[in-house]
Amino acid sequence: MRTQVCIIGGGPSGLLLAQLLHMKGVETVVLERQTRDYVLQRIRAGVLEWGSVAMMEEAGLGERMHREGFVHTGTYLSAQNRGFRIDFDGLIGKKVMVYGQTEVTRDLYTARDAMGGLIVHEAAGVQPHDLQTDAPYVTYTRDGTEHRIDCDFVVGCDGFHGVSRKSIPDTVLRTYERVYPFGWLGVLSETPPVDHELIYANHERGFALCSMRNDHLSRYYVQAPVDDPIEKWTDDAFWDELRRRIPAEAAERLITGPSIEKSIAPLRSFVAEPMRWGRLFLVGDAAHIVPPTGAKGLNLAFSDVHYLSRALIARFIEGEDEGIDRYSETALARVWKATRFSWWMTTMLHRFPDQTAFDQRIQETELAYLESSVAAQTALAENYVGLPF
């Protein structure tokens, strides 16, 4: 089979890229290792920057998002059980959309189906070849049969553990990494959210976050040791811990119920450079990981798609190579800013095992400064709602 762009990975970045290219007449094939149900059942990100909202609209997917999503004009931070609000709208006239990654992915699948685009699910042993030539190709196995897709470009949208980044030789690839000494224990529960906005809480027992998916579905997280056995965290243990870490008035309002999903995720900052090697481009988690504290992972994947979709369209429609030649540099400049912001939010809000009394005072002062300074709040707001593309 032949196509123009072979996309490895059918997560949100691969599907959005496929949709935007298809709308401009560029042919794509998407190869996904998992089944569609598996991809749709992954509970991940919850907050879209306004630039990501605009990209969903551009892809023709604004309707359900605007009907079912929740626009947030600010967020709460709390320290020592006392909250204060960062007013995005009041400070910089911007907002974010609470619309889960599960819904984003579902909308993207529906759109791909509607246009008859090909997604090969359960593609095993996916392997790109000849990426330094003008005739790259990708092989994979499905139902015991080997297949080959010839293409002009290969795009790696296959997440942190995918095959694409590993295709770049060690002599070329530079990686930068910080692994944080804790994880996030996340719970999804069919209960009304404790507040109509998010609460990010710094507490001496560790970080906590109150988020949501809709009026009847809450998403909560507490900082926890990454190797804690999940059985240790009964629902009661989770709710007790969450109550302790959030402002007292929120704890009193908290409605609890059975968890319908519970898992512990590790926290890591990771950037791989460059994001292009010959005919291969890396997009999203395949190239970079941020800790979830700033709600940037999915949004960063979308900003890569923004740059790469325009670059590939210019290449195929106008024969213009500048965008693809500059993709790595342009995408990385924004990636590093989001990496810095996510690291800063993580450092400010979590309890580190080796935190000294000095570190503790600095963290408290950072939060006190943020509460008192419009300039500091403005800096948080402009990063949280998303820096311009």
Task: Name which position in 158, 197, 241, 273 contacts ligand FAD (CB under 6 A).
Answer: 158
Output the CA torsion sign for 220, 224, 230, 233. negative
Tell me the residue type at 333: A
State the DSSP string of 236-265: HHHHHHHHHHS-HHHHHH-----EEEEEEE
Given the residues 99, 128, 292, 350, select the one marked as catalytic.
Answer: 292
Given the residues 22, 203, 288, 296, select the one marked as catalytic.
Answer: 296
* φ, ψ for residue 161, nearest 5 deg: -95, 10
Q: How far apart are CA 271 and CA 222, in angstroms?
A: 25
Q: Residue with the closest Cβ to ligand DHB?
A: 46
Indicate if 327 belongs to the active site.
no
Indicate if 337 belongs to the active site.
no
Residue closer to ligand FAD, measured from CB, 150 or 371: 150
Whether omega before 192 lies within 30 degrees of 0, making that bond cis, reads no
Indicate if 72 belongs to the active site.
yes
* Range 285-314, binding ligand FAD (CB under 6 A): 285, 292, 295-298, 301
Closest CA to 129 of 118, 139, 141, 144: 139
Task: Name which position in 7, 55, 56, 126 contacts ligand FAD (CB under 6 A).
Answer: 126
* Range 25-64, binding ligand FAD (CB under 6 A): 31-34, 39, 44-46
Per-residue tokens: 263:
């898992």
Indicate if 307 belongs to the active site.
no
Indicate if 24 belongs to the active site.
no
What minimum distance in Å lies between the beta carbon of 312 and ligand DHB? Answer: 29
Half-sphere exposure in the Cβ direction for 35 (13 Å, CA): 3
Closest CA to 283 of 81, 2, 40, 16: 16
- Interface residues with ligand DHB (CB under 6 A) are 45-47, 198, 211, 219, 292-293, 295
x-or-dash pattern for ligand FAD, window 90-119, by CB under 6 A? Answer: -----------x------------------
| 6 scored as a contact of ligand FAD (CB under 6 A) | no
E strands, 80-173, are: 82-87, 96-98, 118-120, 124-129, 137-142, 145-150, 153-156
What minimum distance in Å lies between the beta carbon of 124 and ligand FAD? Answer: 8
| Binding interface with ligand FAD (CB under 6 A) | 8-14, 31-34, 39, 44-46, 101, 123, 126, 157-159, 161-163, 265, 284-285, 292, 295-298, 301
Residues known to be catalytic:
72, 200, 292, 296, 384
